[in-house]
Amino acid sequence: MVQPLGSQLAGSGILNDWPQGVVYLLAPSYSKKLPDVAIRSLIVARSDLPATEQLRKTKGPYANTRITRIVTPSHPANGQYGLFARQHLPPDSFILPYLGYVHDKTDTDEQSDYDLSLDRNLGIGVDASKMGNEARFINDYRGVSTGPNAEFRDFFVDIGNGKGEKRIGVFVLSVGKSGKRVKGIAKGEEILISYGKGFWTERQKTQE
Ligand SMILES: C[S@@+](CC[C@H](N)C(=O)[O-])C[C@H]1O[C@@H](n2cnc3c(N)ncnc32)[C@H](O)[C@@H]1O
């Protein structure tokens, strides 16, 4: 039997600590329930995109990052995992895509802490709770640092045949007006984003 990619790579130095039972993805996994209108909004002809829109090629596993178990008692996610930079990541640079199960509102796991919105109008989300890539381990900056050093941005992947596929990407924050983020993310630093206040208020509600 062929082992899933996550198990093959776990312990290989590439994807150490990949959890058993979570499928490692190299491309998004589309729900069979996604209507055509949703697929058409995600997979588009190059000619229908603005000329300024860059089509990227991506290739996992992402050797620029490292999944690491957190063993710092003061870290609010101590005992869980986080994603760290394996090399210097310059401001504004693309780090990796956020991959997972692409679904709509009819097929949502309300309990998931790994579900990101890809298209609000069509209610499309990307849920990395059961399948995903390294990006599912990115923690929120709250309680860890004074602010995030990365953010989610939509981008398009070149899938051939003159087509682009809309995905969520993780990018290093830009330098900013004050220039304070000029260094980007240093080698060994934890990659941190803002989940938004909504994530934590929702979480509080479900815990009450
Ligand atoms: C998308 S996962 C991040 C990866 C997670 N640490 C893991 O090992 O799978 C989101 C979960 O990580 C934890 N988490 C992330 N950022 C946190 C923070 N700043 N404070 C407390 N918990 C955090 C929470 O349990 C949250 O539900």
List the strands of the sheet with 101-103, edge to edge: 29-30, 101-103, 124-127, 115-119
Give, for all 208 residues of the chain, the pLDDT tens digit.
Answer: 445 555 666 655 656 678 889 999 999 999 999 999 999 999 999 999 999 999 999 999 999 999 999 999 999 999 999 999 999 999 999 999 999 999 999 999 999 999 999 999 999 999 999 999 999 999 999 999 999 999 999 999 999 999 999 999 999 999 988 888 899 999 999 999 999 877 777 766 666 6
In the prediction, which pLDDT does 149 show?
97
Q: Is the CB of 174 under 6 A from ligand 1?
A: no
Q: Is the CB of 136 under 6 A from ligand 1?
A: yes
Looking up residue 130, the CATH number of its domain turns out to be: 2.170.270.10
Atom of ligand 1 nearest to the CA of 128: 1
Provide the domain limits for residue 68: 5-207
Q: Are β-strands 55-56 and 124-127 bridged in parallel, bridged antiparallel, or unpaired?
A: unpaired
In the prediction, which pLDDT does 1 show?
44
Residue the block writes with tokens 């178990």:
69
Phi-psi region for residue 43, left (φ > 0), alpha (ψ -120 to 50) or beta? beta
CB atoms within 10 A of CB 145: 13
Domain count, the chain: 1
b/e string for 184-206 if b means 16 or more Cβ within 10 A?
Answer: bbeeeebbbbebeeeeeeeeeee
Written as one string, the DSSP assignment of 67-88 is EEE---TTSTTTTSEEEEESS-
Reported ipTM exceeds the 0.90 cut: yes
Q: Is the CB of 137 under 6 A from ligand 1?
A: yes
Atom of ligand 1 nearest to the CA of 138: 3
Q: Is the CB of 152 under 6 A from ligand 1?
A: no
